[in-house]
Structure formats: structure tokens, C-alpha cells
Structure 1
């Protein structure tokens, strides 16, 4: 019985191709789930703990020992080495055994008793930005706490009441309110962003491969015939099995972030679901556009990797988009991931009104609609022109 050409004919044809080629189940389900699991295992601690540090205590006095105990009590820091000189600490830093070192001078107690300034020196490897920043923050906070305690004790010894001592020591106080992620939990920051970044790579590459392999194998005429000669039905029917699968995987990813990883949902769930669906459609549209533009599976796959792999760096979470050079900020706005991650932050963490996320939803919808429309004329040409067939 001859199958009637049309969208479902193309979809059934693609399902047969998927079942015959192991790479498709890998791109569709296996690799995304493996990447989700690996990212969760790597960042499951949530916050940074026990960063190894060294201490050079040249004073060996009660104040210096108290300072070392305070440092070691901080969850993010572990005093793993006590060395006798800066050279020893430098060797440990260069070997990567520690992320930082604190040098306590031999006149710390003497200067404290005299009421003069004592200098504690912090050495840190800023090449590792995250541990370096955490160490700097916590060491400075510890120094400030110890200094405040010493100053208050001295003022009280001179006759000030505790309240007077606090007022004179700190006439202007800073009150801080951390609005979002006060625990500095990296699941909120990294994992919830890296999962969509990984998924974007798989969706774009799978879309490129699904279209490009027809040209490489020289089967594009059969593909077009199955669609009754309609390029639109050919593309929609071919991508339909991928769309359904990736929508399920993407919604699973969203539930994983919200339920299993504990990231709050302070905003609108329908906006999150709509954004997730549009994100899948947008990535598929971009992959189709790349496959049509290059009409060469190898080049299109390379272009997909070039665009999708570094997309996280341009998304604005690790470096503000407004502070990027004009070209980089413009490039960021041309990536679906940028708009989707902004939507996730707005609706999961910030709890922003849905109206705030409308520009991001509109951008994703634009990708989903415009990319296939731009690809259609070129795709119509390459599918019917034998010069583009068989190119690897």
C-alpha cells in the first residue's frame, strides 16, 4: 500500500531513520540525560566548602591563634597547611595544593596592644576566580570581625559602655539586603543555567544533522517527495519527532531544576513552560537555518558547534551583557540561550511579573518563526539541486 505524501508521511519516514541510526537516540535522549546527571554530580554541594589554604603565623600570639581559629571555622575555608615562610606558601600556590595563604606578621600582638595598625597579608591565586573571590571575601570578613572585637574591647577598657563603644567605633553602619540567592548557592547560578546550555547544543546539532544528512546521502529528493513537494511540510514533518522528544526532555529538565534541585519558582509557571517550548523551537529553527545555509553536513555541524558551545559565556550570567563590547553584546542577543536564561532568572529567582519576561518570550518566538522562514528559500533550492547532494 502506497503511503499518501504529507506531513505525517515525512514524520513516519523520519522515525524509521531514527530507529536505524544509533546516533539519533544518543543525541535525543541519552547524551542530554548523561550531561544533566554529570552536572548535578559536579555541583550537587551547592556552595563552596573547604578550600585549602595555608597560614604563615610569625607571631604565634593569642590574637594570631584566635584569627587562625576563626578562619578555619569558616565553612568555605580549610587551613590545611601551616608553613614558616612566604616561599613555602608560594610553592604550595604554584603546585595547586592551596588556593590562598595568609601571612600574620611577627608584630601583630605588639601593634594591637599599642593601638597601631597591624597588617595581615593575603596571597591568592586569582586565576581561579571563584575560589579566589570566596577566599578574599571570607578573609576580609574575618579580619573585620576580629578588628571590631579588639577595638570594642579597648574602648570598653577606657570606660565606654558597650553601646557607646559600638556607636563610636562605627558611626555609620551598612545594612545589607541580599535580594536573590543569599546563600550563594551555585545550583541556582550555574546548574540551572548549564543544563539549558547543554540542551541547546544537542538540539541545534540534531537539527543540523537531521537536515544535512539528507543532502549528504543524496536522499533529499525522496524526502521532498514524501512531503508532496512542500518544503514546509518536509521540514515540519522531519523535525516533528525531534520536537516531541526534546520538548519532553526540556520539560523534564525544568522539573529537575525546580523540584529535584530545589531552585525556587517565584514567578509564573505558564511563562516558564511557554518559554521552554519556544526555546526548543528556536534552537531547531537555528539548526535548520545553519543546515540550509551551508548545505554541507560537516560545515553546518562545525558552525553549530561554533555558535552553541560558547553560548553560555555570552548569556550574561558570568559577565554582564551591558559591559561587553558592542559586537559581543549584539552576538549575545542573537542566541536563543541568552533570552531563555534571562527568562529562567526572572521567573524562577526574581519572581518578576510576566510582563517583564515578554521581550524574552517574543525573542524566542521570533527565532522559532523567522529562522525557518529564512531557511526555506535556500532549502528549496538545495533539496532540488543535485550539485548539493553527496557533499560530506
Structure 2
């Protein structure tokens, strides 16, 4: 179905004016407005041809009106494209009733059932406008119902020319049946589309609530530990005169807690930005060796306290084409995880090699490893329960998810190879800068 819609360009037309800045409910209303405009354009073209065939009264005037309506509905689509959503809806609701008024006044009267469409158009504003725009909903609803009542109870039959197809009562009855079926079809199509998007809104609300709960959980648990540690050591330093050795120990613990809090907050903020589609990348040429060194420097105290040895094999002049903040966050996360899940006095290996237009970076450890289910959840982009490091270190469960999304935004990718109790190897592929 999607392939067919793409081939005929209908999906493109339905999504005119949709962008990442719109909330989901507004996007749904814009899509429904586009759908109504498209149906209106199609119907006016269809009836212009049909009226010529059956010999409808004043057919030339009606075709001029149809042309005006087609242009107006096309303008509504254009206004949506230019993000003039409110004006587009107002143009739409006034335009769709115009041909019906003239059809019933100068051509068909209350014959053939065209005035039934007023009942459909009376319902349209309920899906096109938000509750805050209730004036327009009420106005259009009442106006179209008044049109229907007038033609139903006070209208007169059309005066058809003898010898034309339309003069035949059977043809008139076919038009009436077509009007009823078309009305039901249009209502069903719009409501189906509305229900489909309502389901999307409900899923989005569930996802948003889950994200909110996860954020509160991280703030309540993963930041509570390091901030509590900082508070305890600061209290100790301010309430007593300490020896130099004790002071150094306290300062080291404060630095570790600060680094841990910073990484948690950075991951949390990057995750929220990515989920809200509010993350952008600025690609530039970067020296990979320098990026690795900067990440190691931030984590040096954490590695030293655990006795972790670095084994680095990165060519000094190797260049990657990445966003500096993003790639720094990715590498800090991967190195922090490697330290966290390595056994004391272990080692972390960092290697890189050129492979065509990409640089392949490998970060590996011999720590506790990961389960198949954990790797599957990461590959599917699903948060998973936090796990503790070999010395009780806590994490948010977001680090690797943030890494995967950031790498995608830079044209890179990540692959995880791991077995429980046998360590983890992270392979990341980054666009490179080929030096002449």
C-alpha cells in the first residue's frame, strides 16, 4: 500500500506542511486537511466530466465554479506547505461547500441528492480544528446543516432538458445512490484516517510517559549516589582540618563523583534531545587520536583507581569527519563502560584502522560481558534495566542507546560483540577524511 501511495505521489500530498516542529496532534489535523482537499479536487474534476456527459443544466457555469473550487483547494494545499495552517483550514471549509450550493441552486435543485454532502461537511470541522477553535467548528456545523435543511424541505426539483441522460428518472436515481454511497465513503475514509492517527497519538502519549518515568528514575537514583558522595566529602572537608593525604583522597572522590554526574546528565540530555528530534550535527575534520586522548584524560582517575591499563593503537594523523561533541560523548561512554565492567587491574584496548572511506574503531575489554537479550534490546533501540559494574558502579542504561543514535546522525554505525564473563568488543565505523 505504501509503495502504491508513493508511486502516485499521494503520500507526498498528504504530508504537505508536515515537519519536525509540529506536535503529533497538529500533524494529524494538517494531514486530514490535505486529505479533504485532495478528495475535493478529485470530486470536482470527476463531476465536471460527468455533468458534461449527462447534460446538466448550466453546465458551463458549473464547470467554471468547479475550476474555481479546484484552484482554491490547491491553494489550501499550498498554504499548508507554507505552514499557514489556520488560513488553509478556513479556505478549505468555505470552499468545499461552494459547488454544492451552486449545484443545488442552478442545476439540480433537490434532485439527485447532492445536498446530502452538506451533512458530511458539517462533520468535517470536528476533525480539522482543535477544541480551542470551537467557534469555527460550531459555525461550519450550523451553516452546513442549515443548507441541508433548506434544500431538503424548501428546495424544488431540478428542471432537466428533455432528451438528455439526466432527464431519465433512473439516471437521477443513480445519482442519488451515488451521493449516498459517496457520503458514507468519505465519512468512513476520514474517520478511519482520524482513528489511525488517534492511535498514533495514544502510542506517543504512552511512550512520552515511559520516557518521563525513566527520566525521573535516573534523576532520583543515578544522580542521587554521586551527589550524595560529593555532599558527604564536602561536609567532611569543611568541618575538619585534614591531612594532605586525606585531602587528596577526598578530592579524587569528588572528581570521580563529578565525572559520573556529568556523564549521567550528558547522556540524559542527549537522549531527550534525540527523542524530541531536536539534535543536530555539525560535521568537521577531527583528529581521532586527540579525541581519544581527551576522553581518556577525563576518565583517567576512574581508570587509575581501578588499576585499568590502556592499550592504544591509533595512528597520530588519523582523521574522521564527525561532530566533535557527539563523537566525544560516544567515546567517553564506551570507555566509561569498558572501565566500569572490567575487572580490577584489567585492560581496555583501543584500536583503529582505515577501511576505504571509513575508520573502524574497536574498543574492547575482558570484563563481565553482556547477554544476548541486552545486545538485542540495544540493537532495537530499547532502554534496558541498568546493571552494576564490577565494583558496584551504576549506570543509566542509556549510554549505548545514545551512542547508536549519535553515530547514525553522523553517518556511522556501531556493532556489539559480547559474551557473558568473556568481555565486550564494540566496533564503530566513522566517516574518514582521506589525507593526500
Max Rg structure? 2
Q: Which band: TM-score by shorter chain?
A: under 0.3
Instruction: Compare relative contact order (CA 8 Å, sep 6+) and give the higher one, 1 or 2.
Output: 1
TM-score between both structures, scaled by the size of structure 1: 0.27
| Structure with greater helix share of residues | 1
Answer 1 or 2: which has greater strand percent. 2
- TM-score, scaled to structure 2: 0.25
